[in-house]
Amino acid sequence: MRVSVIIPVFNGADRLAQAVASVRPQLRPGDEIIIVDDGSTDDTAEVIASFGAAVVSFRQDNAGPAAARNRGLREAVGNVIAFLDHDDLWVPHRQTAMLEALHTDETADIVIGKVQTVVDSGAAQLSADDPRFATVYQPWLLQTLLIRRAVFDRIGGFDEQLRRAEDADWMMRARDAGIRFLKIDEFATIYRLHSTNTTRNVAASRDSLLQAFKAALDRRRRRRS
């Protein structure tokens, strides 16, 4: 198995290096890290340049995370795909456990690991009651998944009309298509809560989720008609 790790980033100069550092020790010969700079206006380009040949990078005009992930998919050479947001981290040894699960169960299309949520600097005002603190399986977080490339060949990439909730929309499409998920009792990702998380905009995130749910309902109605 050859793994392509896709990291979309927008104005992530302060956290991107930590994300890449959590991935690099877990790569094997032939694996790759693809960074897609979604039109950053901070020092992200300089941070990417500092990685040298350790990463493959592309820059595009700002079009949202769905477009950035789709660009990464178009450029990826691996037959297994992993995602990481620029402000999150892989848990050490994540890849060993997830690849072993994917290799052992040839019927599994996607392996799901657990997520550990931590409060990052500048986020002390966040409530501990925030549901994102739950240490559970959260398959709508793409960074907790390891996905066979064939899944994307079957159901396509991410809806670029959605600036948020494109991951939830994609997961609902995968479930509707009968994609088989395999949960493992291992942590995959550290999700860092901070003051600039995209999901902090509750109203926009809710509206995008409603769009995704409506699209899922429409698909199911069409199948029944």
Instruction: Set out the domains of the chain in order of their start, with CATH numbers.
Output: 3-224 (3.90.550.10)
What is the rounded distance in angstroms from the CA atom of residue 137 to the CA atom of residue 64?
25
pLDDT for position 217: 60
What is the rounded distance in angstroms from the CA atom of residue 13 to the CA atom of residue 79?
29
Cα separation of the two ends of the chain:
40
What is the rounded distance in angstroms from the CA atom of residue 33 to the CA atom of residue 132?
26
DSSP single-letter state for residue 120: P
Show pLDDT as tens, one digit a residue, over the chain (225 residues).
999 999 999 999 999 999 999 999 999 999 999 999 999 999 999 999 999 999 999 999 999 999 999 999 999 999 999 999 999 999 999 999 999 999 999 999 999 999 988 877 655 555 556 555 566 666 678 999 999 999 999 999 999 988 878 998 999 899 999 999 999 999 999 988 855 655 544 455 555 555 655 665 655 556 666
Look at strands 145-148 and 110-119 and give their pairing. Answer: antiparallel
pLDDT for position 202: 44
pTM, entire model: 0.84
pLDDT for position 201: 43
